[in-house]
Chains A and B, each alone.
Chain A
Amino acid sequence: MRLIPYHTRLAWRSLRRDPGLSATIVIVLAVAACIFSTALIHYLRLYGPRPELSPGLHQVEIGVDDRTLRLAFVGSTAAPSRLAPHTRVSFSNYQVLAASGIPARQMATFRSRLWVASDGGAAISTGIVSSELACARNARFVDAAFFTMFSQRLRWGSPWSREDEVADRPRVVLGRRLNEDLFSGDDSTGQTVRIDGRPYVVSGVLADDAPVNAEWDPAAAGGGQDAVYLPFADQQRLQAWPETPYYLTPVGPHHEELLKSDAVFVTFWVDLVTPEQRAAYQRYLAAELGRRGLRYRLRDLADWREMVKIPPSVISFFTLLTLIIFAGSGLIVARLLLAKGLVRGDELGVFRALGAPRGALFWRQIIEATLLSAIAAALGTLLAFPQAAFYNRFVRDNDIPLRMSWLAVALIFAATMAVGIGSALYPSWIASRRRPTMTLGRA
C-alpha cells in the first residue's frame, strides 16, 4: 500500500515515455466504450431502474367486459388494448372514487391532444409546423398530487398547488422539450402559453422526459412524450376529449355526453400509506362499487409493475454483443501491454535487482493500466454524450430521447476500467515474472 503513490508516479512517467503506445491503448478502449455506451443507454432507457415511489401507491381497477369495448377511432375494428380494462375507469366512476376522502394522496389522469403556442402568437421554433402559430401536442390532465406521487423532478418552478386548483387559476407545467421549443430551454416560469387559445401561466418546467415505462399511464408508455401538464379539472373548461377512450356503448358528440358515458379513459391512483387506510378504502370500494355489482380491484405498485412489464427487446442482445466486443478490445490492449512490457524489460529487471519483489512489479503494472483505463474511461464517457445527441438528432427511434444518466456514466466508466484492468492482468503477470538476469545480461 505504501508504494502506491510511488508506483503511480512511475506509471505516469512510463505513460509519457511511450506516448504513441499509450494513446493507442486509450483510443482502443475509449472507442469500444463509446460503442458500448450506445447500446447501454438504449437498454437503460427501456429497462433502467425505476424511481422509488411510495409503497402505498395503488391503482383502482373496475372490471369491464372486454368483449364490449371498442376503440375510440371511428370505423376502427381493432381489438382493444389488453391493458385498457385494467387501467382505466369512466369519468362517473372516477367521481365516486375521488370523493372518498380516505387516501393520503390521490390523482386522476388522461391524455389529450391540444393546440399549444407561446403567448402573442409566436411561432413554435422546432420547424415542425413553423408556419403555424400552434402545434397539436400531447396534453396530460393530472391532479396536483401527480408530481409528488410519481417523483417528477422539476428543473424550474413548482407544480400548481391544491389552492390553485380550488381557485381555478390557469396554471400549467411544461415538459422539458416543449419548453425548449417555446422558450429555447430557458426558465419560462411566469410566462404565458396558449392552450386551445386560452392563456395559461407556466408554474414549472419538468427536468426530465417521461420514462419509457411511465407508471401513471401505460397507454403513454414507449413514446409520445407529454408536452404539457394541466390541472385535471381543466379538461371540462377546454372540452378536452381523451386521446384514446374505450367505449362500452355509443357516446354522443358533446363533451358532457362523454363525461356521463360509460367510456373508460381515466387512470386513477391513490396513496394508502397505512393498513388502516387500505382497510378503510377497501370498505369504501365495497360499499360504493360492490353494492352496484361492479367488479373492482385495488392493485398495488408491485402488482402493477408486474402487469405492465416491458416486453423483451432485441436491445438486450445488442447490449450484450457490444459488451463482448468491448471485452474483445481488451485482447488488443493486452497484446499492446505485452509489447510495452517487452520494451520495458530492462527497466523492470533493474527494479528487480534493486529489491522490488514480483508482487510489487505486478501491482506497478496494474496501476499503469488503471491510469490508462481511467483516461480511456473518461474519454469514452465524454464521447458518449455527443454520440447520444447525434443519435437523438439524426437517428431517433423513439419519442423519448436517449439520455446519459449518472447510472449510464457510472456503468460505462466501470466497464472500461474493468476491461482495461482485466486486460492488464496477464501482461503484468508476465512482466513481473521476467528473470532480471536475462534483461540485465542483454543490457
Chain B
Amino acid sequence: MIDDATSAETPMLRMRDVRKVYRAGLVETEALSGATLTVSKGEFVAIMGPSGSGKTTFLSVAGLLDDFQGGDYLLDGEDVRRLNDRRLSRLRNQKIGFIFQSFNLIPDLDVFDNVDVPLRYRGLPAADRDRRIEETLSKLGLVARMRHLPGQLSGGQQQRVAIARALAGRPQLLLADEPTGNLDSTSARQIMDLLARINAEEGMTIVMVTHDHEFAARAHRRLHILDGTLIDPRAVPAGSHMPAAPARG
C-alpha cells in the first residue's frame, strides 16, 4: 500500500483500498486486493510485476475502463464511483491518454484519422482538431506519414502514432501498458526517451507498467505489484523477500 502524496495540490490519482474481483461462474479471482496509491501531478511512476500479478487490471481501473468493487478512487479530485458511463467516458476522453503494448491502432484508418479518434469524441471543431493533430504528429516526427495506414509503418512508428493519439487530446494522465513490449531494443529506447521527454517538458503525469528494469529506472518512482497488491520497494524492510525481476517480454 503506497500513499506517497507529498504535494499539497490535488493529486492526479488517489486510490484507497481498491478491490477488483473477476467472476467466472462460481469462481472468483481477486485481481486487485486493496490497492492504495497516490500519484501526484507531473509524476512518472513505473509499475512492475510478474504476469498475472494485476498490472493490466490496475491500469484498467485507473483508466476508468473497468469498474471496481471496493475502496475509493479520486481522479484529479473527482470521485469516479459516482459517475455514470457518459461522465466516465468524458473524463477518460479529456484527462487520460492510453498507450497499449500492441498499439491498438485502427487498421483501416490512416495515421491522421487514428489520432483524430479521441478528438472526435471531445467535440472539437474541425479546424481545432486538424491543428492539434498536425502539431502532435510534427512533434513526434510523423508528419510525412500522415496518410499512411498503420500496416505501412514499422513497430516503432506505430507506437509513436499511438502516443500521438494519446497526446493529441492533451490529457493530464498518460497510462502506458508495456509500451515497449512489442518493440526492438532501439525502438524501445526511442519510445522511452520520448515518454521521459513528455514528462519532463510538459509535466504530464505518467503511470507505466513495464517488465523492464532499465526502463522502470527512468521513472521517478518504481512500484511492484504482486497478487493484486501494490508494494513500494523503498518501504520494504531490508532482508524481506521481493519478487525476482522477470525477463522482458
Flag if B100 contacts A357 (CB, 8 Å). no
Check B117 against A351 for contact (C-beta < 8 Å). yes
Q: Is A309 interfacial (CB 8 A cutoff)?
A: no
| Contact A440 B104, beta carbon cutoff 8 Å | yes
Complex Cα gap A6–B86 (Å): 19
Q: A443 contacts B65, CB within 8 Å? A: no
Separation of A359 and B94 alpha carbons in the complex (Å): 18
Number of interface residues of B (CB under 8 A): 29
B118 touches A354 (CB 8 A): yes
Residues 94-135 of B contacting A (Cβ, < 8 Å): 94, 98, 100, 102, 104, 106, 108-109, 117-118, 120-123
The answer to whether A355 touches B85 (Cβ under 8 A) is: no
B109 touching A13, Cβ below 8 Å:
yes
Whether, in the assembled complex, B33 has its beta carbon less than 8 Å from a beta carbon of chain A, the answer is no
- Which of B's residues lie within 8 Å of A, judged by CB? 56-57, 60, 63, 65-66, 85-86, 89-90, 92-94, 98, 100, 102, 104, 106, 108-109, 117-118, 120-123, 165, 169, 177
Chain A at the B interface: SS class: helix
Q: Show 9 residue pairs from A and B whose CB-CB distance is below 8 angstroms, ordered by the A residue.
A: A349-B104, A350-B106, A352-B65, A355-B90, A355-B92, A355-B93, A360-B89, A437-B57, A437-B60
Contact assessment for A357 and B66 in the assembled complex, using a CB-CB cutoff below 8 Å: no
Residues of chain A contacted by B122 (CB below 8 angstroms): 355
* A441: Cβ under 8 A from any B Cβ: yes
Collect the chain A residues with CB atoms within 8 Å of residue B63's CB: 353
Residues of B within 8 A of A16 (CB): 108
Find chain B residues with CB under 8 A from A440 CB: 60, 65, 100, 104, 177
Q: Does A166 contact B (CB under 8 A)?
A: no
Q: Is B66's CB under 8 angstroms from A435's CB?
A: yes
A435 CA to B23 CA in the complex, in Å?
A: 14
Which residues from B are CB-within-8-Å of A3?
120-121
Report the Cα distance A360→B93, complex, angstroms.
Answer: 13
Q: Is the CB of B98 within 8 A of A353?
A: yes
Given contacts A13-B109, A437-B65, contact A357 B85 (CB under 8 A): yes
A354 touches B165 (CB 8 A): yes
Assess the B121–A17 pair: CB atoms within 8 A. no
Partner of B123, one of A2, A349, A436: A2
Q: Find the residue from B65, B106, B169 having the highest chain A CB count within 10 A.
A: B65
Residues B121 and A354 in contact, CB atoms below 8 Å apart: yes
- B121's partner among A346, A356, A358, A435 (CB-CB below 8 A) is A356
CB 8 Å contact bits of A337-378 with B (1 = contact, 0 = none):
000000000110111111111111000000000000000000
Q: In terms of DSSP, what is the predominant structure of the interface of chain B?
A: helix
Once the chains bind, are A353 and B102 in contact (CB under 8 Å)?
A: no
Q: Can you name the residue of chain B whose Cβ is closest to the Cβ of A16? A: B108
Q: Which residue of B lies closest to A443 (CB)?
A: B102
Q: Shortest Cβ distance from A423 into chain B, in angstroms?
A: 25
Question: Nearest 8 CB-CB pairs, A to B?
Answer: A355-B93, A357-B89, A437-B60, A354-B118, A355-B121, A437-B66, A436-B65, A350-B104
> Which A residue's beta carbon lies closest to that of B100?
A440
Residues of chain B within 8 A (CB-CB) of A346 are: 104
- In the bound complex, residues from chain A placing their C-beta under 8 Å from that of B92 are 353-355
| Residues A354 and B66 in contact, CB atoms below 8 Å apart | no
Q: In whole Å, how far is A388's beta carbon from the nearest beta carbon of chain B?
A: 40
Contact residues in A for B120 (Cβ distance below 8 Å): 3, 6
Task: Find out whether the CB atom of B57 lies under 8 angstroms from the CB atom of A356.
Answer: no
* Interface hub of B66, B108, B118, B120 (most chain A Cβ within 10 A): B120
Picked from A347, A354, A435, A441, the residue with its CB within 8 Å of the CB of B93 is A354
Query: Are B104's CB and A355's CB within 8 A?
Result: no
CA distance A346 to B94 in the complex (A): 21
Residues of B within 8 A of A437 (CB): 56-57, 60, 65-66
- Beta-carbon contact of A441 and B102 below 8 Å: no
| CB contact list, A1-23 vs B, under 8 A | 2-3, 6, 13, 16-17
In whole Å, how far is A210's beta carbon from the nearest beta carbon of chain B? 55
Closest to B91 in A: A355
* Interface of chain A residues 97 through 152 with chain B (CB within 8 A): none
Q: Which residues of A lie under 8 Å from residue B109 when comparing CB positions?
A: 13
CB contacts (< 8 Å) of A354 on chain B: these are 92-93, 98, 117-118, 121, 165
